[in-house]
Amino acid sequence: MEFDIVKTVNNYDDAINFIEKVSFKSGIYFLDIEIGKKLYEKNGLDLAEIIKKRDKNAQLIFITSHQDMAFLTFKRKLGAVDFIIKNGNVGDLQKDVNYALQSATKAISNADFIKKNTFSYKFGQEVRNINLGDVIYITTTSVGHKLKLIKTTGWGYFIGNLKEIPEKYGSLVQISQSCVINPENVDRVNFREKKIGFVNGESQYYSVRNTHKMHKLFKNKF
């Protein structure tokens, strides 16, 4: 596995100046706790808190010469991937770095998998997350931007733009101006009537302009 080293710094101020100018997602950060001169003022732990605010899925790997400082990362709830102690042995350091990188990349992959398979929508002031596989279809309503979500576990309403949903969730397909479906929850298609049936017994019609797309999508399934 290859990695790009985006930036290296040896003091807190340079690190902050760089972080404030760029934007990363799921970055891996090696942070020396003693990057600042004083442990409780502008050190690697403070840097980690700022990074976490800017990169929600940041993978933090702390490095220090003092093993007793490990508890500080837990006390400040920074969610570090690993904690490497510098003992002067290059071989040990290499093994620790390799292990930390493996753990970080695995965590990133798991987070990406969860995000890819999660459907998020806003219900009032609350953001709800459900398994994307539980989405059956989404339709427009008589109220502008108010959408109805049909799930395997029921239904609900949320505010959104129907056209933007397939752009954000590649596995969902728009079949008409008023409906987006999850093909995985389709159990029958009537090509003559241009009618799609779902696992919950309900059905929706697809538009004439989507006829070719529906044949291509379902011709080998039904």
Domains and CATH numbers, the chain: 12-116 (3.40.50.2300), 120-218 (2.40.50.1020)
CA–CA gap between residue 1 and residue 11 (Å, rounded): 28
pLDDT, one tens digit per residue, over 180-218 is 999 999 999 999 999 999 999 999 999 999 999 999 999
Share of the chain above pLDDT 90, in %: 50
User: Of residues 93 and 220, which shows the higher confidence score?
Assistant: 93
Q: Which two tokens stand for residue 211?
A: 């006829």
Write down the pLDDT at residue 38: 57
Neighbours of 96 (CB within 10 A): 19
Of 55, 48, 92, residue with least CA distance to 69? 48
Q: For all residues of the chain together, what is the average pLDDT?
A: 88
Pairing of strands 59-64, 28-32: parallel
Take residue 168 and report the two structure tokens written for it. 């954000």
Pick from 73, 10, 79: nearest CA to 46:
73
- Identify the pLDDT of residue 69: 67
